[in-house]
Amino acid sequence: MSIIAGAYADGWRRANSAHSVGLKFLN
């Protein structure tokens, strides 16, 4: 895995978890 791919995956994971927290907050 390249550094760029790792950074992209980490950013996607953070955005995904933030989205999950947002859905819990709305519900």
Q: pLDDT (tens digit, 9 = 90+) per residue, 1-27?
A: 689 998 899 989 998 888 888 778 776
The pLDDT score that the predictor gives to residue 1 is 60
Beta carbons within 8 Å of 19's beta carbon, 6+ residues apart: none
pTM, two decimals, is 0.49
The pLDDT score that the predictor gives to residue 20 is 81
Beta carbons within 8 Å of 9's beta carbon, 6+ residues apart: 1
Q: Say how far apart CA 25 and CA 16 lie, in whole Å.
A: 14
The ranges assigned to domains in the chain are: 1-27
> Using the 8-state DSSP alphabet, how is residue 2 labeled?
-
Q: DSSP 3-state assignment of 1?
A: coil
The pLDDT score that the predictor gives to residue 22 is 78
The pLDDT score that the predictor gives to residue 23 is 78
